[in-house]
Amino acid sequence: MPANTLNASAAPSKLNLIGLEQQALAEFFEGLGEKSYRARQIMGWLYRRGVVKFQDMTDISLRVRRQLDLVATLDLPRVIRKEESSDGTRKWLLDVGSGQAVESVFIPEPNRNTLCISSQAGCVLDCSFCATGQQGFNRNLSAAEILGQVMIVKRDMGPDVALSNIVFMGMGEPLANYRNVVPVAKLLVDDHAFGLSRRRVTISTAGLVPQLTRLGEDCNVALAVSLHAPNDSLRDELVPINKRHPIKELLDACWCYAEQLASRQVTFEYVMLRDVNDSPEHARQLIKLLRDRPAKVNLIPFNPFPGARYECSTASVITDFCERLRSSGIVATIRRTRGDDIAAACGQLAGQVRDRTRVRLGDKTFRSVRL
């Protein structure tokens, strides 16, 4: 039984049931002397119907609802601010306590609606082209805080707007918060919760290889890898985790993961930085890495943020880079920039990170941080 479900009635504070997997919920109810099927009931009310008050769960007896009120809670993050872009993209700033706030982004498209969620307050990985990385790092989000983002957006968008895709591409490195991200991902694909296809849930990583290896065994959802450079010397500069897990080690883990995927394909994110990683030679190096592999490349025009030292590649350079990949047989797309007028585009999420440790990958203190 997970530690946070033991002796719930004796706990000094109420247990937040949001984000607990079905087995953990079942054990929680058994600890209260109730049948394990109560877990499926609660999940249906929470994730299918969006009900977050025990008193409104009418097919659960009044006695049980009163007991739940004493020992458990269904707390969601508080919405601080909502913004809407001219292109329909929406962003939520959510209070996660102690002066910290994170951002979630809803991106509507003709054939799908994508929600981008955060997993940390700040980020420890310090990628040089990302606003979140420049904030420093405060803490991991709990499973309730991560899944709460999905629930809040579903509530605000209403029953007529379905979330077809969930991507862990907001603030933070998801695999650095493995213990909380994986249970949420499992709930997103659980038929008793959100019931999404595994192909519709994507976990992104900048390259935490040990956690990536575990992920293939624990939760086989879609994978996106923040590559951004085709050689180690440049990637060391752009994505400092590369110093710990260089490209070959990362790609070997990716190909092993792809063997377990239903789609057998890994998406590689590649931000286009003017005169940094966008030359024909960079394209040739990338082709050498990915040709004849189960790889898709998503080229991302760089989105500026205050203090950024990069510029976006020109449209013609991005198009040429993409065509070089395609002509070699690699599936390649160019991401359309969405929500940049409200700082909701890829790489722009900053949230509100206060009392931060300022720990980053490049700091001398980084080795003391457990990933």
Q: Which residues are catalytic?
A: 103, 346
Q: Quote the CA–CA distance of 132 and 173 in Å, as a whole number.
A: 10
Whether residue 27 contacts residue 17, with contact meaning beta carbons closer than 8 Å, is answered with: no
Across 12-50, b (16+ Cβ under 10 Å) vs e yields eeebbbbbbbbebbbbbbeebebeeebbbbbbebbbeee
Could you tell me which residues come within 8 angstroms of residue 253 by beta carbon, excluding any fewer than 6 positions away? 209, 212, 213
In one-letter notation, the amino acid at residue 96 is V
Q: Quote the CA–CA distance of 39 and 351 in Å, as a whole number.
A: 33
Q: For the chain, first and last CA: distance in Å?
A: 24
Whether residue 122 contacts residue 137, with contact meaning beta carbons closer than 8 Å, is answered with: yes
Strands 90-97 and 100-109: antiparallel
Q: Quote the CA–CA distance of 91 and 88 in Å, as a whole number.
A: 10
Whether residue 265 contacts residue 273, with contact meaning beta carbons closer than 8 Å, is answered with: no
> Measured between alpha carbons, how far is residue 186 from residues 4, 191, 195, 352 in Å?
18, 10, 9, 28
Q: Quote the CA–CA distance of 293 and 312 in Å, as a whole number.
A: 28
What the block records as the tokens of 15 is 């247990």
In one-letter notation, the amino acid at residue 273 is L
DSSP 97-128: ETTEEEEEEEEEETTEEEEE---EEE-SS--T
